[in-house]
Structure 1
């Protein structure tokens, strides 16, 4: 039981470490203020007649608060390692604990991440929304978007990072509704989503819809867990801690 609890909660301290280290490294790498001649400086100028989505973009993109920008950069740098490592971590924990409930949770996480990725990629290509840096005077801060790749410049909606982080945290939180799982997980997912706006690669509406999408898919998979989980992977006693779609956090 002690080993199982350690495995359930140990992923979030790792996230905190990744965010802390990544934030310090990024803070040293990024300029403190854009130069007046830069395109980004022109974008950050006052323009009260902008649409709400663009004002939200400017609010996060142009912020220079070290505590906020460092946290957002840390969340950004931790995102891909967590996306790639969460499912193997979940299955590794299931093997170590030999728990049917842990196997079922790992399967739900795998299914949730796979469905979220597929839906997001399909939606991106159907909508074809240009990223903020395509038609606005700002530069993307993410390395992957410098220089902008033509095939990726029109895949802004919805945000894949926001969708996957929300799906991961919701799925894991529904399987293990403990404060040390749900709280740090929600904080990390929010940081990942907001970092996409700060980097200039998504609008606020992109990350909002992505978050709702990822959360909804995780809830749907949890709601239909008995129907979508193969019999060999089902837990003898369902680890849902209450009715479907109800998250009860235990302190």
Structure 2
């Protein structure tokens, strides 16, 4: 794996029971890029993401084959799966707030990892909330319940929580599915800034979102990679007719 490669996937296959949903895909994600992953529902996008930090194994009957390497380490052979999951921040389609204060939502993972100094926690919480474009809205009510925030604010709190353990890789799975367009654009601005610090994998059902944000785009269809390449090429000069049909809204 090249030193420029954050994630390397080779011949990845995923089964749920007897049904194979990903059929031997291979790709790499470069350090410091945003890789957009597009495709219709049931294409295997979320399953692929869940292989990266081994959360697929939480699903009974799910099985992964092939090789997934994160920062040069085979995730199937890692001795510390918790360290792997700290390396990869995950943001789900719907905001999942812990029933804790805004402050404690962000401080939860660092505390679990052993950070207890109040000054250090204060600094970390502020930094993560600033990065998630939420600080100015909540700085005067950090000790109110995070679940009392609006949907868009809760999603940004989820991003702040994902950033709290300083991940090298940030994966977002349809993060804007339940939030308004204005909040979506604010989070997109956040992602553009975060790209300077980490690698981002952006699974999105909004093709134009991938076009705005991604350096490269992968089109996943029925568990297979149809095309992967520079975003402008994928959208403007696709190599496969199916890609052109999808990004132009002919199906999907």
TM-score bracket, shorter-length normalisation: under 0.3
Bigger share in helix = 1
Bigger share in strand = 2
**Largest Rg, 1 or 2:** 1
- In the superposition, the TM-score normalised over structure 2's length comes to 0.27
- In the superposition, the TM-score normalised over structure 1's length comes to 0.27
